[in-house]
Amino acid sequence: MLLVGYCFGIRSERRLCEEVHVNLAYRWFCRLGLEDPVPDHSSFSKNRHGRFRESDVFRHVFEGVVQRCMNEGLVRGEGFAVDASIIKADANRTRGVAADEGIDWQDPGLGTRAVREYLQALDDEGQIGATPKNTSLTDPAARWTAAPGCPAFFGYSTNYLVDVDAGVIVDVEATAAHRIEETEATKRMLERVEQRFALKPRHLIGDTAYGSAPMLGWLVEHKNIAPHIPVWDRSERSDGTFSHSDFTFNAEHNHYVCPAGKLLKPAAPNRLKNPYRYRASQLDCRSCALKPQCCPNMLGRKIDRSPYEPARDVARELAKTEAYRQSRKDRKKVEILFAHLKRILKLDRLRLRGRSGAHDEFLLAATAQNLRRLAIWFRSKAMTVAAAPA
């Protein structure tokens, strides 16, 4: 019944029970005969929050559908794309408390399941990222977030890992709407898909949010996955002076060569403090004609090299290839899935609270999207067979 609700955008459980009662196709799908009683919406709700969640049956169903897509040849495992989309939480924006006001979580009025779950997660994992500016008393795990041009709201991110061949969602995870959590979720999804389905992509497509140095380092050095991801680079300067990319690194001799052909060597006195800092000789810089374009306010130029710079270099080189240009187009398949999720499946606001509620809703919605993909595939297969000469 839940799958019927998510496939056809029926968001209210009361309405879903009414629809299943009168719709013969829904009854057939739920294996209910004409005379069979349809569960009452309150007992339906109780099961959803109780034994369904405890048994992790939603993930079991989701993975069953992914396996079916694999059996039909819809998943090649060559290239995956990752992205996140923010969905509004069921939390009124006026029921938020600013970070400096403090919240008495012992207040009996706050003893809800969503609050208990949030406090338990804080005990287990601690605060991830900076303290949020605003915390919801209704659903504290939801993150206060603002899209450009819109008023801020509380929301969760649905993270999709998609096989770009046929656009099948191979994994999904709910996180707070926060960049660090989204990149960590990507790592977990890649590990889980490898473990459950023995699938490991050759390349991963993502936007700049996934192009941080540690993430690229993890992909290249730990997983041997080619990052088709723009490098998140804050070293590029916009004031007209030379950027990091204007200096050439010589790995063999461990130094940079500046645009004037001088060397920047590892900064020995700071070696323990920052082993990745390189400095030019002040003598060279003082007499250099390019100094106004390089380090006008300093005695000599310095460059900080990330410990993950080799992985960043791999990503930069990949960005010049034809395969990368194709990946930019393939990334749109995830955006189409998010647009479909919000407009057709009407999941633009959650009905369930807490991280576990978001997790259940996102898993069911992704299952519905994969089922629709399978249905389209079966229809085109049937048409091909019908059109074939006898």
Distance CA 327, CA 332 (A): 9
Say which residues have a Cβ less than 8 Å from residue 46's Cβ, sequence separation at least 6.
Answer: none
The least distance separating ligand SF4 from the CB of residue 303, rounded to whole angstroms, comes to: 9
* 301 vs 353 by CB, closer to ligand SF4: 301
Quick check: 346 and 8 in contact, CB under 8 A? no
**Positions in 288-317 near ligand SF4 (CB under 6 A):** 288, 290-291, 294-295, 301
The least distance separating ligand SF4 from the CB of residue 247, rounded to whole angstroms, comes to: 8
The least distance separating ligand SF4 from the CB of residue 116, rounded to whole angstroms, comes to: 57
For ligand SF4, what does the binding mask look like between residues 196 and 235, x meaning CB under 6 A?
----------------------------------------
* 161 vs 280 by CB, closer to ligand SF4: 280
Quick check: 296 and 241 in contact, CB under 8 A? yes
Quick check: 41 and 68 in contact, CB under 8 A? no
* 61 vs 290 by CB, closer to ligand SF4: 290
Listed residue (157, 168, 155) closest to 81, CA to CA: 168
Q: How many alpha carbons fall within 13 Å on the CB side of residue 342?
A: 14
Residue type at position 169: I
For ligand SF4, what does the binding mask look like between residues 249 and 288, x meaning CB under 6 A?
---------xxx-x-----------------x---xx--x
Distance CA 8, CA 222 (A): 41
* 152 vs 299 by CB, closer to ligand SF4: 299
* 115 vs 258 by CB, closer to ligand SF4: 258
* 170 vs 285 by CB, closer to ligand SF4: 285
Distance CA 327, CA 241 (A): 32
Q: How far apart, in Å, do the first and last CA atoms of the chain sit?
A: 40
Give the footprint of ligand SF4 on this chain (CB under 6 A).
258-260, 262, 280, 284-285, 288, 290-291, 294-295, 301
